[in-house]
Chain A
C-alpha cells in the first residue's frame, strides 16, 4: 500500500456516494464543454478580425440599407474597398439541414476579405462563368459531401423570388479553405447580382457593407466617420468591426453568451456546493479515523493532502468523462450547430477541473486537518 493507495481506499469506501459525485462532476463538465464549444464556434472568434468593418442599419440587423450608400462609402478617404453583402438562410434537402449564404460582389469581396477566406483569382474566374455560381467553404462542403461542379438548391426561409418560389439553385464553382483552421467556413459565398435580380422585394438594398480600411487607417477611427455620413439620412448606419459585429449578432439573441455563462456558472456553483457538502459529511463520519491517523504520526499537511487528493480524484475522473463526452458530442452533432471543441476549450476545461477540484477539496481538507485528535483515546 502507498499513500495513494490509502487515499484511494478512503475515497472508495462508500462507492455509491463517490459514483454519484463523479456523475455530477461529469454532467457539469459535459454542459461546460458543450457551451464552451458553442461559444467558441459561434464567435468564429479566433479568426474574426478587428481590421474589417461592417456597416449596417442602425435600426437593426434585419433592416436593409440602400445600395446607393456604396459609392458614398467607397469615396470616403481611408476606405480601401467595400462590398455589398446580402444574406440568405435556408435549408438544403432536409428542412433541418440549414445553410447560410452570403452574397457579395466577387472582386470587391476578394479585396475586402479574400485573405481571411483564402480566395484566389482562379476562384473568381470560375465565379464569373455564371450568375448562379458560388464558392463553398471547406467545412460546409465536407459536411454536405459537396464537390466542385455539383448543383444544390437552397429553400430560403424568408427571401422570395419574383415568381413566388423560395428555391434558389446554385452551382459550385470552387471551395475555399479559410486562412486558418479556426476561420468559419461553414457558409456559401454567392453573387450579389444573382440574389438582387432574383428576389421579389427589397431590390437594390444590402444587409451590410463589408469594408477594409486603407493600410494605416485605424478602423475604430474610420467607423464613426462612416456613420457621420448618414446621420441625417433616412437610414442611419452603425459601423462595427467584424469581431464586434459577430458579438452584436449573438447579443441579438438575448445576449446568448452572457446567459450561457450565467447558466454554466450556476451549474458550477451548484456542483461545488454538492461536492463540498458531501465531502464535509463524509469526513465527519471519518473524523475518528483521521484522529487515529494523527495519533500514528500523520502530520496535518499529510491529512490535508490526502483530502485534497480525494477531491481531485473525483474531479479528474468526472471531469475527464464529461469533457470526453462533450468532445464526442461536438463531433457527432450536426456541424450547423457550430460547436467547436478546440484546444482552447480543452485547456480551459482542464484548468477548471483542477481549480474547482482544489477549491472543492480545500474546505473539507482544512476541516479534516483541524480535526482534534484528543477524541482518539476517548471511548466511543
Chain B
C-alpha cells in the first residue's frame, strides 16, 4: 500500500458517470461526479426529487455500478468487484437504513435484526447475544418478540437501524430514514444516528429532504443536476 493510498479518503468517487438507459432513451444522472468522505464523517445529501440521491446510495452500496469512473471505499475498488464479491462486501462493511424500514413481515423484530448475522460464522448463542445488545442500544429492549407490524413507525425504524448495525459495519447508508416519521420520532432517530456516528465511529451518508434532519450531519451536500453544490453547515 502506498502512502497516497493510506491517505486517500474513506470514500472516494472520481469521475463517476451514470445514465439510466431504456430501449430508446438514455437519462444521464451523473457526469464526472467526484466525492470524498472521510472516515467517521456524518454527511447529509439533499436535493430535489430525481436529482440522483438514491442512485448515489445505490452506487455506494454496490447495488449498481457506474458507467465509468472509480468507486473506492476503505481502500477497495467496488467497481472492480463481481456481484458475489459485492454481496460479501455489503455483508461485512455496510449497513443500510431505508425510508420504509423494509422489515420482513413474517419475522419478529429480533429475527429481522438477526438476518445479517446469518451470513457470519457465529454460533446461535453469540447471535442471540448480539441481537439483544443491539435492540437494547436502539431502546427496544423487550420488543424483540413483537411482529414489526405491531410496532409504531419510529420503533420499526429503530429495528431497521438495529438490523443495519448488528454486524458492526463501518459505513451506514440511510435513504430518508425519517421521511415517514413524525417530528418526535424523527428526532429520536436522528439522535440515535448522531450517537452511532460520534460514539461508535460509524461513517454515515444520509439522504434527506428534511433540512432539520440534515442539520444533524457534519456536512450537507446539495445534489442538483448531477453535481454537488457544497454549502457550509449553518451553525445555529
| A→B interface (CB under 8 Å) | 1-3, 6, 9-10, 12-13, 288-289, 292-302, 373-374, 376-380
Contacts and interface: CB of A to CB of B under 8 A. Distances in A.
A295 B63 CA distance: 7
Contacts of A292: 98, 102, 104
Nearest to A380: B100
B151 interface: no
Interface in B12-61: 54, 57-58, 61
A334 to B, nearest CB: 47
A contact patch SS: helix
Contacts of B54: 377-378
Interface string B87-114: 1111110101011101011110001001
Contact of A289 (B57, B100, B104, B119): B104
Contacts of B57: 377
A299 B58 CA distance: 16
Contacts of A2: 118, 124
Contacts of A302: 87, 119
Contacts of B104: 289, 292
A296 B63 contact: no
19 contacts: A9-B107, A13-B106, A289-B104, A295-B61, A296-B91, A296-B96, A296-B116, A296-B163, A297-B89, A298-B91, A299-B84, A299-B87, A300-B83, A300-B84, A302-B87, A302-B119, A376-B96, A377-B54, A377-B58
Contacts of B163: 296
A51 B90 CA distance: 68
Contact of B98 (A13, A299, A300, A376): A376
Give the size range of B's interface with the partner: 20 to 34
Interface of B: 54, 57-58, 61, 63-64, 83-84, 87-92, 94, 96, 98-100, 102, 104-107, 111, 114-116, 118-119, 124, 163, 175
A1 B64 contact: no
Contacts of B90: 295-297
Given A295-B96, A297-B116, A374-B64, 4 more contacts: A297-B92, A298-B91, A300-B87, A377-B58
Contact of A298 (B100, B114, B119): B119
Contacts of B63: 294-295, 373-374, 376-377
A297 B102 contact: no
Contacts of A13: 105-106
A6 B90 CA distance: 20
A359 B63 CA distance: 29
Contacts of B61: 295
B88 A299 contact: yes
A273 to B, nearest CB: 26
A40 B12 CA distance: 70
B87 A297 contact: yes
Contacts of A293: 115
Nearest to B54: A377
Of A1, A292, A299, A379, most buried by chain B (CB within 10 Å of CB) is A1
Nearest to A288: B102
Nearest to A14: B106
A376 B102 contact: yes
Contacts of B107: 1, 6, 9
A379 to B, nearest CB: 7
Given A293-B115, A297-B94, A377-B57, A9 B106 contact: yes
B94 A377 contact: no
B12 to A, nearest CB: 22
A9 B114 CA distance: 14
A1 B111 contact: yes
Contacts of B96: 295-296, 376
Nearest to A5: B111
Contact of B58 (A289, A296, A374): A374
Contacts of A3: 118
Contacts of A6: 107, 111, 115, 118
Of A9, A294, A297, A302, most buried by chain B (CB within 10 Å of CB) is A297
A377 B61 CA distance: 11
Nearest to A6: B118
Contacts of B58: 374, 377
Contacts of A373: 63
Contacts of B98: 292, 376-377
A124 B121 CA distance: 73
Of B92, B107, B118, most buried by chain A (CB within 10 Å of CB) is B118
A293 B118 CA distance: 11
Contacts of B92: 297
Of all A-B residue pairs in the complex, the 7 with the closest CB atoms, nearest first, are A297-B91, A297-B90, A299-B87, A377-B54, A292-B102, A13-B106, A9-B106
